[in-house]
Structure 1
């Protein structure tokens, strides 16, 4: 079981936040400096030879633009904060649900690992190679695939007939149609969400030892299909 909702901000996120604050402070400093210079200039100008009207207008326009930029940055920061909060709240609703997401790596647990395969067209011969986390070949199967989505299940037995250890396993598929042409096979995995990691820029779902970005989720259900 993975840990619950993570809330630790990553170093990358911290660096980005620090940079944004630094930029805002720099703009604010320039804004204050500009206002000081403008008021000083107005106080010390020669009444008999006042500032050119066009120049004064241009400076006022610059003053307004800087002020608008500061207010715009504040509003954007507020919108971003609200969007992140909404995304985090939405992601936590995945906990306890079963999701199907893009990917070739599934968790072997209780002697079973399952993938969803969707070939571009009917496959007369597909060589399915199962690899462990280190890239070693654990087993190989050859079968045909029909058009459309279908389930491929592995019972956890390696090529020697022994039970493989629980963990993550990846599929490699070489598929060909009846004419010998290569066929692409889309692969997805399903699993129950145990927790959500909110430390990065995008919420990541914890499914056993696997980590799945929310953007990779294709479907959600209350339980695994049988």
Structure 2
């Protein structure tokens, strides 16, 4: 009889332990109900005809089976979440396609901020506000007067106190003051999916150097074919016109130095980007004359004065209203490989095949 009482007590304690846990976690399989019924059965059994050991063992086996079923269900739920989250393999289907997506976040990884884009419909004075995951404003960036057009968000990943912010996701908004008053600027990006980026354990699409969350896609369509050329090799021996040339840097600028021409005199700001779309440096050039060719005078150093790694860098010319022409035209004499990527060699210029706009 003593053994029976101790067994009841042990099972009661076990049931109590499950009761505490079940208060926090609602169990759809009814483990608590099973234990409660088992304990009640033991407490109310006939002392002259107690439960057989084999019956008791069978009921414990049923409980073990119930426990295994619960764990299996939990594992399947976790697997389903992983499958629903998608993978980089799923994102590969977007490569080379045109997309339109909402963007209001910037990813800071290893101290560098990547992402952010906005479009102005008219000339306005622009201010960018950066917020952390708690919704606290960490930085305000006055951009000054800007013409209508699309712009990336240039942020050095530092807060208002010039302190480096922590890696993670940050939200931004863009406020414009124009002829129509104060308004919140549309933050969308449209362009070709150039690659898949990873930051803080998540995969993103790379569009115009910006991180795009696949969940924010508004439209996806196939890119129209640019022409009959399907391989960089097929450009060799032909005259082509490209939107811009790259800056081939290996301790110094190699080959022909790229540049731009303005349609009229204006102030100029040059932005240098690496192959991942990260802003490397902004250089104020002052006022430049129109109708003249101006070379990109870059010393190969980033914003912090450190010499950058060898590679091909792109640039962008910003003005207060003048049109900057960065096109290059010439014969393709061969291919030059940098970090495994083929570039067209056009009279000493290195040109990405994706920058080609026409072929004669």
TM-score range, shorter chain: 0.3 to 0.5
Greater relative contact order: 1 or 2 (C-alpha under 8 angstroms, separation 6 or more)? 1
More helix by share: 1
TM-score by length of 1: 0.45
More strand by share: 2
TM-score by length of 2: 0.30
